[in-house]
Amino acid sequence: MTKPAIKLFVGSRLNTLRQQSGLTQAVLAQKLGISASYLNQIERDQRPLPDRLLEEVCRVFSVNPAYFSDVEEVRLVQALREILADPLFDAARPNFTEMLSAAQKAPALGYAVTQLYSAYRNAQEHAASLADMPTQPVLEPYEAVGDWVQTNHNYFHALDSAAEALYAKLSPKEGWLHPALIQYVQDEHNLKIVTDHALEQRGVRWKLEQKSHTLFLSQDVLAEDSLFCLAQVVGQLEQGAVMDRILHRSGPKGENARALARLYLGNYFAGALLLPYELYRNAALEMQHDIDRLHRRFGVSFEQACHRLSTFQRPGSEGIPFYFMKLDIAGNILKSFSANHFMRSRFGGPCPLWNIFRAFTTPGQVQVQLSRMTDDVVYLNVARTVRHSSMSYFDRPRQVAVVLGCDIRHAGRMIYAAGLDVADQRNAVPIGPGCRACSRDDCRHRSLPVSGRGIDAGSEERGVVPYRAAKS
């Protein structure tokens, strides 16, 4: 039986793109080869955007087709549910239908609410230093950059293409980029590379002195990290203008946020140079995304191999839509991006049933998990700790782990599905975005009551769940 086509009602997003580009409805309609009245109906959600126009719209505005998917809509609804569960809104809490309508009809307003609430939370957490805070609530720079990366689907075509071109110029054998890149840095930029023991004590990985044409590398940098450092330096020396154009066109607001975004773009280019898009994507398909084989084949770290897989959003050449996250042992989120419907809590800790926490009990071993989120989507999750070597007896290396996950629909392309009975629903662990935002009222692992619900403190019985939600 043929699956019916999904109708795309994307009027608000199309209207936003058109206005940001300074185009009138008449001009855009002419570019698309349709009447202005037809375009007006699409923008007012009276008609869906047909498939035949989707590709043309993406070409005109240089956006990924994923821009018009419901992933961002679902993410916004989840954020609004989490925010509006705060007791602050007990007197007037919108219902789910109203939140969904806001996400569909006024997404900019929804994102403004999330930014305002995030600023409110930051102010609450830093109450002791309120006098030193700006008078206008703002997002923390790292939060603003995270949202910006998510908005761009963690894909920056200009940098990706430049990295592919340079890799082709170097033409190394797979896994042998390191010597080729060292030679390139020495020949093209006249740099000599020196190991500096003092950098380690200052927490610096590399330092570039252009006057002396010297690149200093810290002694404690591992081989794969040394390669990444070299790629970062090349990006800084050669791709500055490209990064400036990206930031000028769509970068986050605020000096600190833009500075962090530029650092992120430098890291993005480095990752793209180590693992060029088409070459790595084809290898991943060939090896069924076996991350251990991939990171050894290309001479990169396990984390780098995972993170790169999450950036495969090139129009017409997309990979599996993964989510990627990096956490420390205390549950602090260090990196986060999702190309699918997987949602994490924005204002609380992650779910303790998630396999990334089990990874800390088996360092260096891959943990595979089937998990079912609160929206009933089942994910295949792959988690593992990533090493940070100790340089001395008194060193305290950071303990971190990464997790890469995809919808179970893509399990056939993942080596990690081997031996799993994906059809048996009992194998899927029920997890959530985090206790603060989770709607499961029967979970034995709760650390907080169900948000937005009263607590049943009846004295006639006691349950195994510490916080029982009152019946609504």
- Give the pLDDT of the chain (472 residues) as one tens digit per residue: 333 445 667 787 788 888 878 899 999 999 998 999 999 888 887 888 887 788 788 888 877 766 676 667 777 877 887 788 777 777 777 877 787 778 877 888 888 888 888 877 767 666 545 445 444 445 578 888 888 898 888 999 999 999 999 999 998 887 789 999 999 999 999 999 888 877 777 778 889 898 899 998 887 777 778 899 999 999 999 999 999 999 998 888 888 999 999 999 999 999 999 999 999 999 999 999 999 999 999 999 999 999 999 999 888 899 999 999 999 999 988 999 988 888 777 777 789 999 999 999 999 999 999 999 988 889 999 999 997 766 677 777 789 999 999 999 999 999 999 989 988 889 999 998 888 778 787 888 888 777 666 677 666 666 666 666 666 5
Give the burial string for 106-125 (b: 16+ CB within 10 Å, else e). Answer: ebeebbebbbebbbebeeee
Q: How many CB atoms lie within 10 A of CB 42?
A: 24
Contact indicator for 68, 8 with CB cutoff of 8 Å: yes
Q: CA–CA separation, 381 vs 417, rounded Å?
A: 10
Tokens matching residue 230? 């070299």
Q: CA–CA separation, 48 vs 471, rounded Å?
A: 39
Q: How many CB atoms lie within 10 A of CB 343?
A: 24
Q: How many CB atoms lie within 10 A of CB 293?
A: 16
Q: How many CB atoms lie within 10 A of CB 406?
A: 25
Give the burial string for 297-320 (b: 16+ CB within 10 Å, else e). Answer: ebbbbbbbbbbbbbbbbbbeebbb
DSSP label at 469?
B
Contact indicator for 94, 102 with CB cutoff of 8 Å: yes
Q: How far is CA 136 from the centre of its chain?
A: 27
Residues near 313 by Cβ (< 8 Å), separated by ≥ 6? 64, 66, 153, 154, 155, 319, 321, 339
Query: Of 176, 290, 185, whose CA–CA distance to 232 is shortest?
Result: 185
Residue in this structure with the two tokens 């029982």, named with its chain if needed: 468
Helix (H) or strand (E) holding 429, with range, is strand 428-430
Q: What is the secondary structure of 189-209 as a DSSP string? A: H--EEEEEHHHHHHT-SEEEE
Task: Give the E-state strand segments of 224-374 in sequence order.
Answer: 323-328, 333-338, 367-372
Angle at 354 between CA 351 and CA 360, to 5 degrees: 110
Tokens matching residue 58? 């993406």
Q: Which amino acid is at 153?
A: H
Q: Which residues pair with 372 in a beta bridge?
A: 378, 430
Helix (H) or strand (E) holding 11, with range, is helix 11-20
pLDDT at 97: 76
Q: CA–CA separation, 295 vs 291, rounded Å?
A: 6
* Alpha helix segments (H runs only) across 355-410: 355-359
pLDDT at 119: 79
Contact indicator for 334, 326 with CB cutoff of 8 Å: yes
Strands 323-328 and 333-338: antiparallel
Q: CA–CA separation, 340 vs 326, rounded Å?
A: 17
Residue in this structure with the two tokens 């609410």, named with its chain if needed: 113
Phi, psi angle pair for 69, to nearest 5°: -80, 175
322 exposure class (CB count in 10 Å sphere: 0-12, 13-18, 19+): buried
Q: How many C-alpha atoms does 424 have within 13 Å on its Cβ side?
A: 6
Domains in the chain, please, with CATH? 11-63 (1.10.260.40), 71-138 (no CATH), 154-274 (1.10.10.2910), 302-433 (3.30.450), 441-472 (no CATH)
Q: Which amino acid is at 27?
A: V
Q: CA–CA separation, 163 vs 345, rounded Å?
A: 33
Q: How far is CA 20 from the centre of its chain?
A: 24
pLDDT at 164: 96
Angle at 435 between CA 97 and CA 83, to 5 degrees: 40
Contact indicator for 444, 364 with CB cutoff of 8 Å: no
Q: CA–CA separation, 297 vs 320, rounded Å?
A: 20
